[in-house]
Structure 1
Amino acid sequence: MFSKKYSNLLFIVLMGCGMSFMMTLLITYINTGFDKDYFKRFITAWSVSFPVAMIATSIVAPIVKKIVDKITK
């Protein structure tokens, strides 16, 4: 188990990993189709999208949390 103090970091890592994985999987398929080199193209694309997703999540998540906190009771 992880300490509660790491919950924000864990959220960012899991959200960035999951979102970048699913989106890259689908977008690679849509753009290039499925053939014997599909997984190689996917891994190459994911190696770029994962760090981008981590940065984006770390920027966007706190902003979204503040907005949600303001509009919910």
Structure 2
Amino acid sequence: MRIPARFAPLLFGALLSAIMVSLVSAFVLLVNQGLHPGFLAAWARSCATTWPVAFIAVTLVAPWVRRTVAKLTVS
């Protein structure tokens, strides 16, 4: 199944934010609480509550970042 190209920015935001939230929340939980029996549940809860914020942030900020990188680099 392929997704139409017009949805590429949303798919990019969804994937990037999901990956970043998963990695960062796991790291922060490990540093602050260590690996404990309830770690996976706490990690899932953390991801579920922070992913919507990250998705919106990535979706809104990504176009600005792309333009800024284009201005700061040469081909």
**What is the TM-score when the length of structure 1 is the normalising length?**
0.90
Q: CA deviation at 1:72?
A: 2.5
Question: What is residue 5 of structure 1 aligned with on the other side?
Answer: 6
Question: What is residue 48 of structure 1 aligned with on the other side?
Answer: 49
Moved over 4 A (4+): none
C-alpha distance in 1, partners of 2:4/2:24?
30
Q: CA deviation at 1:38?
A: 0.6
For each residue in 1:21-50, what CA deviation from the matched residue of structure 2 results, as whole angstroms up to 9, or x when unmatched?
Answer: 110111111111111111111111111111
Give me the identity figure in percent. 26
- Mapping of residues 5-44 of structure 1, within 5 Å: 5-44=6-45
Q: Which runs of 5+ in 2 are unaligned?
A: none
Q: Which runs of 5+ in 1 are unaligned?
A: none
C-alpha distance in 2, partners of 1:34/1:71?
41
Q: CA deviation at 1:53?
A: 0.7
Q: CA deviation at 1:17?
A: 0.5
Number of residue equivalences: 73
Cα RMSD between the aligned structures? 1.1
3-state secondary structure, aligned to 2:3: coil
